[in-house]
Amino acid sequence: MDKVSAGAADAVADIPDGATLAVGGFGLCGIPSVLIEALLAAGTTYLEVVSNNCGIDDWGLGRLLAARRIRRMVSSYVGENKEFARQYLAGELEVELTPQGTLAERMRAGGVGIPAFYTATGVGTQVAGGGLPWRYGPDGSVVNASPAKPTKIFATRDGDREFVLEEAIVADFGLVRAWKGDRHGNLVYRDAAQNFNPLAAVCGRVTIAEVEELVEPGELDPNHVHTPGVFVQRVVVLTPEQASDKRIEKRTVRTA
């Protein structure tokens, strides 16, 4: 089955207002920037986005945020985006902060059909006990806070320990960026871009992948495929200019 779309605009055209998106990338590494720009151009709004972070003020998901297209974020790290902090503290954006490993496992679990799992991460904190501010009011009061989660004692090799129940994440759409892909949707990520891309790909009901290089079926070594085509519904082939447009989050240089 040939899954190649006519372009990014065509690939995201049926994403409705209010959809939940799982978006790959970490910082600015491996983000599906072309698909994000297509969503921005389409005017899609009131989105809930599941992503490790929300880009920076002028790139990646930060572009959707600045245009007020995102109503809710499920994230782990948000420290590089001043507009994100402003909207959150002003009560304009709902934010569910989740430990990074827990977020990754929630996405993976959603993709493989596991509805929930127990983890020791967050036990004894507001992650388990509830009360984390999800949304503030204009006056700075907390108008929506995280609920308490079920906990349970399990016997482990180190003795009895308490664990907290975390629910899986399944998104309406997954947006990812791959180094190489074929017409069947098999994807290979390069180096650190493996980060959250495989997880966003599996937990999306419909996954759209932008690929820097398209190869024909059979050209990818099956041992090197990170995301099998069964998880991918649409492939967008980038132009050389789009593929090379990669931002550096923080540039640090040595003093001469």
Confirm if 108 and 83 have CB atoms less than 8 A apart.
no
Instruction: Please state the pTM of the whole predicted model.
Output: 0.94
Confirm if 43 and 68 have CB atoms less than 8 A apart.
no
| Nearest residue to 217 via CA among 251, 182, 250 | 182
| Nearest residue to 79 via CA among 105, 97, 103, 93 | 97
Cα distance between residue 58 and residue 64, in whole Å = 9
Q: Could you tell me the sign of the dihedral formed by the alpha carbons of 173, 241, 213, 60, in that order?
A: negative
Cα distance between residue 234 and residue 254, in whole Å = 42
Cα distance between residue 92 and residue 99, in whole Å = 22
pLDDT category of residue 237 using cuts at 50, 70 and 90: very high
pLDDT for residue 72 is more than 90: yes
**Residue 246 has what pLDDT?**
87
Beta carbons within 8 Å of 55's beta carbon, 6+ residues apart: 28, 31, 61, 62, 63, 65, 80, 81
| Nearest residue to 189 via CA among 27, 10, 32 | 32
Q: Report domain extents, the chain.
A: 8-115+168-244, 117-167
pLDDT for residue 249 is more than 80: no
State the DSSP H helix or E strand holding residue 205, giving kind and residue range, or none if neither: strand 204-215
Beta carbons within 8 Å of 232's beta carbon, 6+ residues apart: 3, 181, 185, 186, 187, 201, 207, 208, 209
pLDDT in tens, 187-233: 999 999 999 999 999 999 999 999 999 999 999 999 999 999 999 99
pLDDT category of residue 130 using cuts at 50, 70 and 90: very high
**Residue 189 has what pLDDT?**
97
Cα distance between residue 83 and residue 64, in whole Å = 11
State the DSSP H helix or E strand holding residue 156, giving kind and residue range, or none if neither: strand 151-156
- Quick one: what percent of the chain has pLDDT higher than 90? 91
pLDDT in tens, 29-39: 999 999 999 99
pLDDT category of residue 247 using cuts at 50, 70 and 90: confident
pLDDT category of residue 3 using cuts at 50, 70 and 90: very high
**Residue 101 has what pLDDT?**
96
For the domain bounded by 8-115+168-244, which CATH number is listed? 3.40.1080.10
pLDDT in tens, 8-57: 999 999 999 999 999 999 989 999 999 999 999 999 999 999 999 999 98
* Average pLDDT of the chain to the nearest whole number: 95
